[in-house]
Structure 1
Amino acid sequence: MSLLRHLLQFVFCLILLPALLGCPKTPITPPPPVDEPPSFKPLEGSDAESLAAHLSTRHQGLGSWAALRPSLEDSLGYILKRPQNAVAVNRPGLTLTWAQLGDSVAELIGLLPQIDRDPRLMAERFQWLKVAPGTLLTGYYEPWLEASLTPTDKFQYPLYGVPEDLMTAPLGEFHYRWKGQALTYRMGEEGIEPYFDREAIDGKGALSGRGLEIAWAKDPVDVFFLQIQGSGRLVLPDGSVKHILYGGKNGHKYVSLGKLLINRGHVPREEMSMQRIRTFLNANPETAQQLMFENPSYVFFRLSDEGPYGSISSILTPRVSVAVDRTMIPLGSVLALKTALMDYDKGEADPFMSLVLAQDTGGAIKGTRMDLFCGSGNEAELLAGHLQEDSEVFMLVSKRVMPEQAALLEN
């Protein structure tokens, strides 16, 4: 039986099974009510001027706004590859095409030399649209871990490349209700099956002996955290360093280990951080593996001499690149972020008001939530591991295209 026939049978069953069983088409348990649907709300000119006056690159390691040019050009390059007349974002308060979004980014690139002298130009030339109802800002980073390109007694835990039998089918091609969704699977003896989960791979050796290993780590907890972050750096026995980048995943749902530890009373909610999770796992090796198995999601990697790369295929910039829900904020967008970042040298939170770029996505990043790429190394790990900050985010759109977007809203 052909693969296409198997897929058609699967989708046919998904569509017709509720009707055959006499079940309602909508979920039995309705989703929790949402007080305010995600939207964009324009700021008054005076409010935008006040925020723009406080823009600063101080916390981003940039000598001037001109240093943003390479990252902005990467964003613009991504935007220009989209269908220019297609809608990039359509949410209450804002509808933009990719062409209009590109015009906004291009205008900012041309304005960079002047912003150092007068950041208030950002309010004069751009409309500030607040992301509502609010933004939870979290962080991610590029972990370093000791590893080897060959297995030894010290390095026993494999890091896998993308398996050749990992298949993906775009479900939107079978039914309009699943537009944008994909099915990840493998072919079993009886047809399509879910791909192997974490327990099958790490506990039962489902991928062993297939030559898929691209490196070996010395600590399974390091492997687990590398998979959560999606990319990292391998420090090899000779002292050289290799980037290890996201290659794909098995399609299973991500289960937060932090939530499990809180719900089972292992770690108080107020103490939760990535560092606290690692401490618990290291202190409880007899239960660590089983706890990690409860997250069935599994990430596959590839090695590179450069990285890390975001979803627009450009190298991420620390404290500049952010991961967003692309259905809320289109990739390539320029955003102003108002928040506070912990300065661990001073032991206090430091106000942050700067421009960030939507250059990445993440499985847990939904709606207005945003993930800040914190960089690489111990300081980045500390910041990312504790970052949970209610923040304000503003999408910046050139005022030159605002009349056009108003016409789109009316239509």
Structure 2
Amino acid sequence: MQNQRGEGFSWLDMKPGIERNINYLSRRPKDKAAVKYGRMKVTWGMLKRTNEEMLELLPRLENEPELLNERFIWYSMVPRTLLTGYYEPYLEASLTPNPNYPYPLYSIPTDLKTLDLGKFHHRWKGQHLIYRQEADEVVPYYDREDIDFKGALQGKKLEIAWVKDLVDVFILQIQGSGRLVLPDGSVRHVLYAGKNGLKYVSLGKVLIERGLLPKEGMSMQKIKAFLDANPELVEELLTTNPSYVFFRLDDEGPFGSMGAPLIPMTSVAVDSRVLPLGSLALLTTRLPQQGENGKTPFTRIVMAQDRGGAIKGTRVDLFCGSGPEAEYLAGHLTSWSHVYLPVSRALVEEMEAVK
């Protein structure tokens, strides 16, 4: 197995991320299954041991890449899968009300409630109901139309910032985190804090189904350009996605679902029922290049350190970083890919010897 590392990559860049994986995995029950693939059970302890061995090898891999084959068995656990991308958008914003920044970002409302359905029946284990209470009735939480166009949250002192463009708010909610550029030039991180629990609907698919944009070459940039050119359709189109995300401010970020900072071009968001958080994985794919035709090969060991509301099944979402290049890549990345899970060869041999 060869690793085509990509420009500017150093194996030692992975050290902080692997250390965070180990810290996360150390808090999981060692012998409990993290995931099962057919008859094969991968425990949290196996994932931790694999991370520890990878960490030990990092200083040697620059000159001895063959160690990756010698020390690990690479399992093709996930069939060919779709790779997409996400990034940290920049938004012009104000932390105080300002007529030049009319659109609010909201923190989690106090009347948003979450119910663990697994407490009621084992078949619902891991499922949660997000709701609000209206008199004596449990009802779905407010949707995008209620919040952005009917003022459902106005007057509740939930605003944490105000931005210039409502479409930018929509894009920020899809990405999950971003950076606010304030009038004095300073920057604050704005991070995912929760959601309203309603179904996510892809605006790109809506535009294609309505014949407003072609499927070929669909990207976030084309969606934004279409909305900018057709302001009269913004409300109608944005409200086709009832899902709504709430945020919090921080001086650092972005953070993934493990609570650890994300690493550009290395951290990935996954469905943790398919690829557990804290996993290492070999990703092989082809990436679009700005200003060039076609795609270039990309092979890298990535880390499952985040989840996403729209990331289901085998799909993998690559964190592309921040800035114009990251925005372009995340907006255009839809590539078929292969994912391989490494497991310590020594550990596998130890387990087979015990049988």
Question: How far apart, CA to CA, are the structure 1 residues paired with 2:275 and 2:235?
Answer: 37
Q: Percent identity?
A: 55
Higher relative contact order (CA 8 A, sep 6+): 2
Counterpart in the other structure of 2:6 = 58
Is 1:149 matched with 2:82?
no
Is 1:397 matched with 2:343?
yes
Question: Is 1:131–1:368's contact at 8 Å kept on the other side of the alignment?
Answer: no
What is the 5 A alignment of 1:42-57?
Answer: 52-53=1-2, 55-57=3-5
| Counterpart amino acid of residue 222 in structure 2 | R
Is 1:217 matched with 2:153?
no
Q: 1:232 aligns with which of 154, 157, 178?
A: 178
1:345 Cα deviation from its structure 2 partner: 5.2
Question: Is 2:116–2:128's contact at 8 Å kept on the other side of the alignment?
Answer: yes
Q: 2:277 aligns with which of 331, 341, 349?
A: 331
Counterpart in the other structure of 1:241 = 187
Q: 2:334 aligns with which of 373, 379, 388?
A: 388
Q: SS state of the match for residue 76, structure 1?
A: helix
Q: SS state of the match for residue 216, structure 2?
A: helix
Question: How far apart, CA to CA, are the structure 2 residues paired with 1:84 and 1:193?
Answer: 40
Question: How far apart, CA to CA, are the structure 2 residues paired with 1:94 and 1:148?
Answer: 52
| Counterpart amino acid of residue 57 in structure 1 | R
Question: Structure 1 residues 344-353 or 305-314, which shifts more?
Answer: 344-353
Question: How far apart, CA to CA, are the structure 1 residues paired with 2:254 and 2:144?
Answer: 24
Counterpart in the other structure of 2:229 = 283
Q: 1:87 aligns with which of 17, 33, 43?
A: 33
Q: SS state of the match for residue 72, structure 1?
A: helix
Question: How far apart, CA to CA, are the structure 1 residues paired with 2:27 and 2:113?
Answer: 26
Question: How far apart, CA to CA, are the structure 2 residues paired with 1:199 and 1:264?
Answer: 20
Question: How far apart, CA to CA, are the structure 2 residues paired with 1:84 and 1:376?
Answer: 36
Deviations 1:174-208 (A, max 9, x none): 01110110000112112221111111111111100
Is 1:293 matched with 2:239?
yes
1:117 Cα deviation from its structure 2 partner: 0.8
Is 1:96 matched with 2:52?
no
Is 1:343 matched with 2:289?
yes
Question: How far apart, CA to CA, are the structure 2 residues paired with 1:298 and 1:262?
Answer: 22
Question: How far apart, CA to CA, are the structure 1 residues paired with 2:29 and 2:134?
Answer: 38
Question: Is 1:94–1:405's contact at 8 Å kept on the other side of the alignment?
Answer: no
Q: SS state of the match for residue 209, structure 1?
A: coil
Question: How far apart, CA to CA, are the structure 2 residues paired with 1:341 and 1:350?
Answer: 5
Is 1:317 matched with 2:263?
yes
| Counterpart amino acid of residue 393 in structure 1 | V
Q: Scaled by the length of structure 2, what TM-score is found?
A: 0.97
- In structure 1, the gaps of 5 or more residues are 1-51
Question: How far apart, CA to CA, are the structure 1 residues paired with 2:347 and 2:269?
Answer: 25
Higher strand share: 2
| Counterpart amino acid of residue 244 in structure 2 | Y
Question: Is 1:131–1:392's contact at 8 Å kept on the other side of the alignment?
Answer: no
1:346 Cα deviation from its structure 2 partner: 4.8
Question: Is 1:321–1:372's contact at 8 Å kept on the other side of the alignment?
Answer: yes
Q: Scaled by the length of structure 1, what TM-score is found?
A: 0.84
1:326 Cα deviation from its structure 2 partner: 0.5
Question: How far apart, CA to CA, are the structure 2 residues paired with 1:345 and 1:291?
Answer: 29
Q: SS state of the match for residue 401, structure 1?
A: helix
Question: How far apart, CA to CA, are the structure 2 residues paired with 1:278 and 1:290?
Answer: 14
State how many pairs are aligned: 355
Is 1:254 matched with 2:200?
yes
Q: 1:197 aligns with which of 138, 143, 163?
A: 143
1:367 Cα deviation from its structure 2 partner: 1.6
Greater C-alpha Rg: 1
1:401 Cα deviation from its structure 2 partner: 2.1
Root-mean-square deviation (Å): 1.6
Is 1:359 matched with 2:305?
yes
Question: Is 1:96–1:405's contact at 8 Å kept on the other side of the alignment?
Answer: no
| Counterpart amino acid of residue 112 in structure 1 | L
1:164 Cα deviation from its structure 2 partner: 1.1
Question: Is 2:78–2:340's contact at 8 Å kept on the other side of the alignment?
Answer: no
Question: How far apart, CA to CA, are the structure 1 residues paired with 2:122 and 2:351?
Answer: 27
Question: How far apart, CA to CA, are the structure 1 residues paired with 2:80 and 2:215?
Answer: 22
Is 1:122 matched with 2:68?
yes
Cα 1:407/1:237, change in 2 over 3 Å = farther
Question: How far apart, CA to CA, are the structure 1 residues paired with 2:311 and 2:352?
Answer: 28
Q: SS state of the match for residue 309, structure 1?
A: coil
| Counterpart amino acid of residue 138 in structure 1 | T
- In structure 2, the gaps of 5 or more residues are none
Question: How far apart, CA to CA, are the structure 1 residues paired with 2:215 and 2:225?
Answer: 15
Question: How far apart, CA to CA, are the structure 1 residues paired with 2:217 and 2:181?
Answer: 30
Question: Is 2:79–2:339's contact at 8 Å kept on the other side of the alignment?
Answer: no
Counterpart in the other structure of 2:116 = 170
